[in-house]
């Protein structure tokens, strides 16, 4: 049996032409060399190969690949902890950013979780305005800060949540919201 994949249409081009669609499928071990290459281009402190292997080995996690024209161009790593889904890593190769790929990965994640009451959390650099804006469009809301979270420069992380309450505009079901 083959793993189901989803086709997600991306934003139309400036000339009004239909944009190509991206295939979202499960990330697999043979994808890891491409993942590591993207990781090194995108992040100042990239994950190690061992970190990706560990996440792929977890039965409760969801690891996704975005494939554009046969090429892996992005990925998402999400782990489940009890009743909360923790989005650990979302990356899109630099040449393919701002085309809706991260949104397509997140949309596929929500479909696979298939629970209208699901709660998702993540950390994002305070300086990463593009990612914060993306997450806010996806219904995530800032609910706290992790001081000096990033080892490369000691930058704080913004803790964001996507829950039924944040989708309705409040932090009512977010555990221990704090100052942002």
For residue 69, what is the domain's CATH number? 3.40.630.30
Q: Which of 107, 104, 101, 176 is nearest to 145 (CA)?
A: 176
Whether residue 95 sits in one domain with residue 71: yes
pTM of the model: 0.88
CA pair distance 125, 17, nearest whole angstrom:
34
110 found inside a domain: no
**Quick check: 113 pLDDT over 60?**
yes
Catalytic residue among 23, 123, 136, 155: 123
Rounded CA separation 118/90 (Å) = 19
108 in any annotated domain: no
Q: How much is the pLDDT for 21? A: 82
Predicted pLDDT at 14:
39
Return phi, psi of residue 43, to 5°. Answer: -115, 140
| Amino acid 118: pLDDT | 97
Per-residue pLDDT tens for 34-86? 999 999 999 999 999 999 999 999 999 999 999 999 999 999 999 999 999 99
Is 39 in the active site? no
136 is catalytic: no
- Closest listed residue to residue 167, CA positions, set 144, 125, 137, 128: 137
148 and 62 co-located in one domain: no
**95 and 143 share one domain:** no
**Secondary structure E strands in the chain:** 6-9, 21-26, 62-68, 71-81, 84-92, 119-125, 141-146, 157-162
- Of 55, 75, 135, 138, catalytic: 135
Q: Say whether pLDDT at 2 is over 50.
A: no
Q: How far apart, in Å, are the Cα atoms of 18 and each of 14, 71, 78, 119?
A: 10, 19, 30, 33
User: Final residue of a domain: which of 39, 71, 99?
Assistant: 99
Q: Do 16 and 61 fall into the same domain?
A: yes
Q: Can you tell me the distance from the alpha carbon of 108 to that of 83, in angstroms, rounded to the nearest whole number?
A: 19
State the total domains in the chain: 2
Token reading at 76: 């998402």
125-179 pLDDT tens trace: 999 999 999 999 999 999 999 999 998 899 999 999 999 999 999 999 999 899 9
Domain extent at residue 27: 1-79+87-99
Among residues 71, 99, 127, the one where a domain terminates is: 99
């Amino acid at each position: 049996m083959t793993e189901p994949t989803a086709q997600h249409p991306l934003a139309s081009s400036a000339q009004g032409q239909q944009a190509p669609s991206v295939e979202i499928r499960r990330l697999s071990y043979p994808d890891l060399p491409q993942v590591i290459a993207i990781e090194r281009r995108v992040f100042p402190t990239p994950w190690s190969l061992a970190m990706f292997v560990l996440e792929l080995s977890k039965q409760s996690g969801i690891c996704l690949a975005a494939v554009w024209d046969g090429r892996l161009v992005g990925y998402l790593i999400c782990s489940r902890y009890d009743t909360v889904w923790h989005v650990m890593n979302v990356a899109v190769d630099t040449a393919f950013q701002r085309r809706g790929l991260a949104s397509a990965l997140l949309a596929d994640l929500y479909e696979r979780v298939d629970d209208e009451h699901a709660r998702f959390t993540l950390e994002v650099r305070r300086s990463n305005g593009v990612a914060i804006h993306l997450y806010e469009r996806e219904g995530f809301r800032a609910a706290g800060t992790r001081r000096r979270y990033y080892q490369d420069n000691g930058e704080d992380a913004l803790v964001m949540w996507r829950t039924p309450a944040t989708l309705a505009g409040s932090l009512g079901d977010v555990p221990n919201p704090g100052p942002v």
